[in-house]
Amino acid sequence: MLAYISRRLGMMLIIVFGASFLAYNLQAYSSDPLSVFGESTEKNKDYLIAAMIRDLQLDVPPPIRYFSWLRGIVAGLWGDFDMGLSRSNVPVIEILAMAIPVTIKLVITATFLAIIFGISIGMITAIRQYSRFDYVMTFFSFLLFSLPIFWVAVLLKEFMAIQFNDFLADPRISFGTIVIISLIFGLIIAGFTGGSRAQFLSVIGSAALFAGAILTYVNASQWFLKPALGIFGVTFLALISAIIVIQLITGLDSKKGRVVGFGTAIAIAILYYPLQALCPQMPRY
């Protein structure tokens, strides 16, 4: 048993060493820290370049520089841990200390969301086995599972953070985007509800028109500048929740289920303004 554990630990150390060596050298050869001085007009430009070369040891070949960096990592065993400096001359360990708490929060949040959505979708697809919703969810599950995580992370960062932040400077949704999003939403809802081909097409059209109306309202009211659910948001969520609950419990073919579910959603929408009057907004500071 001890020999088996020793072999496993040895293989783990070899893999970690090889991966870190390749990653370090690929990063070193693919980037040039001195490129920031390419268009610099600073009078002490030469001094700054020499200082960066000295601090980052850029005059040492990357493979040899890796072992200098590794020595600082291994030195942590006797309390002299050193991961070197960043391009901005800040200790890497300080940058990691600021990033680790945020990373932990993101990982915990993502794990809980994955568990909630995974179990929920799994239960629904099991109930609606061999339905269009089952096929659609299975397709998207395999598609997302096959995508590299690091690539998806880059796309989310680019479009959900950087591009969305640029979008907020002038938050207007184009007509083409509204049409595409509405059709996708209609397909998802129709795949969930199932039914005959005529029902499938009618649900696509109804859901797409509803989503298009919501997006048009969001666009006209500049909702992204002053986000709030409002009467339309509450009604939208109530109707979507009603469709899901009806489909899971009785199916949309049940007249009593539709009456109870959609009646509850309409009641929520009607009670929106009276409840707003009973719950005054908290003052903002």
The secondary element (H helix, E strand) that includes residue 36 is none
Q: Which has the higher per-residue pLDDT, 92 or 247?
A: 92
Structure token digits, residue 99: 């990033």
34 within 8 A of 52, measured Cβ to Cβ: yes
Whether residue 40 is predicted with pLDDT greater than 80 in this model: the reply is no
Tell how many helices (H) and how many strands (E) occur in the chain.
12, 0
Whether residue 4 is predicted with pLDDT greater than 80 in this model: the reply is yes
The string of pLDDT tens digits covering residues 182-196 is: 888 887 777 666 667
| Closest alpha carbon to 210 in 276, 273, 160, 262 | 262
Whether residue 284 is predicted with pLDDT greater than 80 in this model: the reply is no
Query: pTM for the whole thing?
Result: 0.53
Q: Report the alpha-carbon distance of residue 59 to residue 53 in Å, rounded.
A: 6
Q: Report the alpha-carbon distance of residue 50 to residue 59 in Å, rounded.
A: 10
How distant, in Å, are the alpha carbons of 19, 173, 190, 250, 254 from that of 219?
A: 48, 6, 25, 36, 36
